[in-house]
A and B are shown apart, each in its own frame.
Chain A
Amino acid sequence: QSALTQPPSVSGSPGQSVTISCTGTSSDVGSYNRVSWYQQPPGTAPKLMIYEVSNRPSGVPDRFSGSKSGNTASLTISGLQAADEADYYCTSYASSSTFVFGTGTKVTVL
């Protein structure tokens, strides 16, 4: 199972919006609405930000939103803040009760 493809880095100024793409195949992202997104500041465990493509857990600001089209899922961060600077990973359910992570994207707030 190959890793899902994410851009290595994205950046934006405070208040701007950034979008991170996550491209898989018809065997994972394209087949299931089971895409999640995780935020990982350096040296910490990942934190769930989005699940089932576009659902936000309680406590996650509505500045974070998710979507999917075909084999590509996306995470958008609106109203970018300094606290959003971290690595972000997508993951998708694949076949036979397995999961695959994305390659990760570093978000930098300029």
Chain B
Amino acid sequence: QVQLVQSGAEVKKAGSSVKVSCKTSGGTFSTTAINWVRQAPGQGLQWMGRIIPFLGIAEYAQNFQGRLTITADKSTTTAHMELSSLRSDDTAVYFCAREEEGYRFAYWGQGTLVTVSS
């Protein structure tokens, strides 16, 4: 049974950074992409980026280039998402999602609320 468990809620100051983790269990970690998706309060889903742990290469949405770093630790089967230079409009729930064959986000973490205060 595949499970994705994310780290807890964070409150950050504008201008700082936040790092959210996504611990996976079940299935094969190294060769399966982990994606990050966020949802601002009352808004829709926004794709942020992905990483295939085996390759260690991340792809990012243009909106986040330069501020977003996605990494993966094969030894702990954990993916991390770090967003820097935080602004108030980065306040959102951040989800990790495991991408299965067919380019589908079949498994999701429970979400992590990041609140950015000025």
Contact = CB atoms under 8 A, between A and B. Distances in A.
Interface of A: 1, 3, 32, 34, 36, 38, 40, 45-48, 51-52, 55, 57, 87, 89, 91, 93, 96-104
Interface in B25-40: 35, 37
A1 to B, nearest CB: 6
The 6 A-B pairs of least Cβ separation, nearest first, read A51-B104, A104-B44, A45-B108, A34-B103, A97-B59, A99-B47
B105 A3 contact: no
A48 B44 contact: no
Contacts of B44: 3, 87, 89, 101-104
B66 interface: no
B50 A101 contact: no
For the residues of B in contact with A, the DSSP-based class is strand
Interface in B68-113: 95, 97, 102-106, 108-111
B61 A98 contact: yes
Interface of B: 35, 37, 44-47, 50, 59-63, 95, 97, 102-106, 108-111
B45 to A, nearest CB: 5
Contact of B45 (A32, A34, A47, A101): A101
Nearest to A35: B103
Given A98-B47, A99-B47, A101-B45, A45 B109 contact: yes
26 contacts: A3-B44, A3-B46, A34-B102, A36-B104, A38-B105, A45-B108, A46-B45, A46-B108, A48-B105, A51-B103, A51-B104, A52-B103, A57-B106, A89-B44, A89-B45, A96-B59, A98-B47, A98-B59, A98-B60, A99-B35, A99-B103, A101-B37, A101-B46, A102-B44, A104-B44, A104-B45
B102 A55 contact: yes
Contact of B105 (A32, A46, A55, A98): A46
